[in-house]
Amino acid sequence: MNRDVLVDKMLKSLFVSGREINYPRNQLFISSLQDISNLEVIGKEKDDISKGGIFFILRQSLGGLLKAIFGGNLNKFSFIFVGFFGHILIIILDFFVRVPLLFDVFISSYDTLVNDRRSINQNSPFTKILYFLDKQSCKIADLIFIDTQSNAQFFHEKFNIPLEKMHVVFVGCDEDIFYPRNVAVDDTKILFYCSYLPLHGVDVVVQAAKILQNDFPIKFKIIGNGMEAQRVRDLAESFNVRNIEFLDYIPVNKLADEIASSLICLGGHFGASEKAKYVIPGKIFQIIAMSKPVIVGKNSANSELLKHNEDAWFCEMNNPEALAKSILTLYYDESLRDRLGKGGYETYQRMASSTVLKGQIKDVVLRYLSDI
């Protein structure tokens, strides 16, 4: 079927997800699908999307399932899109529908909770459940979206998901908040913000700060909170690190102000986990969208978007000395900082802007529907 015909007929579609519908990743897909179909959305918005939590996801998934299943004939839709986090949803929906199921897998629940966060022991029966969720949800899906080619390769090798079934769409960011701003820059400020997950490598940032604190007028600001926050702050205290200011979460618009006023931003990931190597941190998109110089972890995922010394500065991961050296390189070279900032912004506009990402999503969906 011709794509133009599909659009003219206004496809009917349903969006349902385990996370809140205003989660940025979900918003990207909702906005894209609204352009090509008569979209019905099931889900809730949440003011503090930084605190989803497993119980919220389970409640959201159960509520979404009940509304979808008892809300009418699911097969009236041209397709159903299952957004993040939708592993449970798509497995159950498969019993009730005959229409195509499209899925944004985004992350591996198994890899996140077992390997990266180590919240669940490798020998726990829950480990097998998480593995099943990842593998079965992707097996059921007719079409899969994922955030990097490196992550797709992980799903292919770990769960035997065909690469041709997965389509990469970068994370991007909210361009109403993250855009270049002409504000005064604090020429001593190095910014890092995160939710203190192991892959973020906040301890590496603390150790780099320790290396630099005695000889250079550099001040670090670390913003956020999370599972390793207390351990990291205890580490900083034990090292007697005096050039770090720790702040808890701040509103996202204030975060953009912090980025704009920073001399250098740290994108990461800097941790030692395998997951840190094949996902691009969301903060990187936010930083380059604001035309700020960024230091990123040297890995395959970041290399899909950025190039060393052109639009970002690559640094060996899990290496405080390398991070400290990278910071000094940018600190003493204003022209390098300017070039990286401008290069990063150009890369964002070319490869990760909302216009580009939405175009990719719509093209993949319409191409798939026209071929079935």
Q: Would 179 be classed as within a structural domain?
A: no
Q: Would 196 be classed as within a structural domain?
A: yes
Q: Would 178 be classed as within a structural domain?
A: no
Q: Looking at the structure, do residues 38 and 107 belong to the same domain, yes or no?
A: yes
Which of 231, 227, 225, 188 is CA-nearest to residue 206?
231
Q: Looking at the structure, do residues 347 and 365 belong to the same domain, yes or no?
A: no
Q: Looking at the structure, do residues 166 and 312 belong to the same domain, yes or no?
A: no
Is residue 291 left, alpha or beta, with left meaning phi > 0 and alpha meaning psi from -120 to 50?
left
Give pLDDT, residue 13: 95
Query: How many whole angstroms separate alpha carbon 53 and alpha carbon 223?
Result: 20
Give the domain extent around 269. Answer: 186-351
Q: Looking at the structure, do residues 341 and 260 belong to the same domain, yes or no?
A: yes
Q: Looking at the structure, do residues 14 and 106 belong to the same domain, yes or no?
A: yes
Q: Looking at the structure, do residues 205 and 309 belong to the same domain, yes or no?
A: yes
Q: Looking at the structure, do residues 311 and 325 belong to the same domain, yes or no?
A: yes
Give pLDDT, residue 52: 57
Burial class (CB in 10 A: 0-12, 13-18, 19+), 362: middle
User: How many domains are there within the chain?
Assistant: 2
Q: Would 180 be classed as within a structural domain?
A: no
Coil, helix or strand at residue 126: helix
Q: Would 18 be classed as within a structural domain?
A: yes
Q: Looking at the structure, do residues 80 and 201 belong to the same domain, yes or no?
A: no
Give pLDDT, residue 73: 81
Q: Would 95 be classed as within a structural domain?
A: yes
Which of 300, 265, 298, 270 is CA-nearest to residue 284?
265
Cβ contact 258:221 at 8 Å: yes
Q: Looking at the structure, do residues 88 and 24 belong to the same domain, yes or no?
A: yes
Q: Looking at the structure, do residues 362 and 339 belong to the same domain, yes or no?
A: no
Per-residue pLDDT of the chain (372 residues; tens, 9 = 90+): 455 545 545 799 999 988 888 888 999 999 999 999 999 998 877 666 555 566 666 777 777 777 777 777 888 999 999 998 889 999 999 999 999 999 999 888 888 787 767 667 777 778 898 999 999 999 999 999 999 999 999 999 999 999 999 999 999 999 999 999 999 999 999 999 998 888 899 999 999 999 999 878 999 999 999 888 999 999 999 999 999 999 998 888 899 999 999 999 999 999 988 888 899 999 999 999 999 999 999 999 999 999 999 999 999 999 999 999 999 999 999 999 999 999 999 999 999 999 999 999 999 999 999 888
Is residue 8 left, alpha or beta, with left meaning phi > 0 and alpha meaning psi from -120 to 50?
alpha
Cβ contact 368:152 at 8 Å: no
Q: Looking at the structure, do residues 55 and 167 belong to the same domain, yes or no?
A: yes
Give pLDDT, residue 46: 65
Give pLDDT, residue 341: 98
Give pLDDT, residue 242: 94
Give pLDDT, residue 50: 55
Q: Looking at the structure, do residues 285 and 314 belong to the same domain, yes or no?
A: yes
Q: Would 181 be classed as within a structural domain?
A: no
Q: Would 310 be classed as within a structural domain?
A: yes
Residue 230 belongs to a domain with what CATH number?
3.40.50.2000
